[in-house]
Amino acid sequence: MTKIAFRAGLAALATASMLLSGCGGSDSAAESKGGTPTTAASQAPADNGVAALAAEEILTKAKDALTKAGSFHMAGSATTDGETMSLDFKVSGKDFAGKMSMGKDAEVEILSVGGKQYMKPSEGFWAMIAGAEQAKTMVKATGGKWVLVPAKDQISGLFAAADVNELLKPGGALSKGEATKVGEQPVITLKDASDADAQVFVATTGEPYPVRIGKSATGEGVTFSKFGEKFEAIAAPAADQVIDQNSLGK
């Protein structure tokens, strides 16, 4: 589950390198590495009964709880095929804002507002997908502005990293694992037969939020927190601070 989104991001990078080759012209780090999530569940210790349900039912409860919360923070890291990626997003409804990093100096700010997708890559990001020389050209062409990314473009896979439906979509048979804790939060483990690194840890007290996705309750993975909290407005950038990706290279 975790790797679905991260792989989507890597696949988007690979495709983008071909696409762009013809162009001419925070919250604390401890949280992102598995720190104790600040959840409503931690304030309400009563058992919520999900541990007694079947695996598929638990996952449904987790998705419903996350949807009902309306907003949350997600942060963490994963290593796929030797490539370490990290993300830090604040999600409010269908809008989100945050950052992804892929290897040394390759960072990209990502913003999705009202169905439109924007990114603001670092030079290192452009270098990763298009080479060092092309990166300089892209930095000059974008001038530090947000790049408007088409909804179904080859690079739009980057935005799957904040898609909860993808993050919580098992690739194989789902089964129920052990009861454990993420920090001080009691959870029940859901296992994905297709990916041992993609266990989901669902709160068994308070609301049945998915509080973590990863190989174990600590270490690499994605931690969910701040359920239902209000974030600063996630707003679209000013029109004069946006450049359409389709115009690059023209």
Domain edges within the chain: 2-27+37-232
Find out whether 161 and 100 touch, Cβ atoms under 8 Å.
Answer: yes
Q: Does the pLDDT at position 41 exceed 90?
A: no
What is the mean predicted confidence (pLDDT) over 137-152? 88
pTM of the model: 0.78
The residues, ordered by sequence, that sit 6+ positions from 146 with a Cβ below 8 Å of its Cβ are 111, 118, 119, 120, 237, 241, 242, 243
Q: Give the separation between CA 96 and CA 73, rounded to whole angstroms.
A: 10
Record: fold of 2-27+37-232: outer membrane lipoprotein receptor (LolB), chain A (2.50.20)
C-beta contacts of 135-139 below 8 A and 24+ residues apart: 137/23, 137/24, 137/25, 138/20, 138/23, 138/248
The larger pLDDT score, comparing residue 218 to residue 19, is at 218
Dump pLDDT digits (tens) for 99-135: 988 877 889 999 999 999 999 999 998 888 778 888 8
Mean pLDDT, the chain, rounded, equals 80
Mapping DSSP onto H, E and C, the string for 109-172 reads EEEEECCEEEEEECHHHHHHHHCHHHHHHHHHHHCCCEEEECCCCHHHHHHHHHCHHHHCCCCC
Strands 146-149 and 242-244: parallel
The residues, ordered by sequence, that sit 6+ positions from 31 with a Cβ below 8 Å of its Cβ are 37, 73, 75, 223, 225
DSSP 12: H
Dump pLDDT digits (tens) for 192-244: 898 887 899 999 999 999 999 888 999 888 899 999 999 887 899 999 999 98
Find out whether 237 and 146 touch, Cβ atoms under 8 Å.
Answer: yes
Torsion of CA 17, 18, 21, 23, to 10 degrees: -100
pLDDT at 56: 95
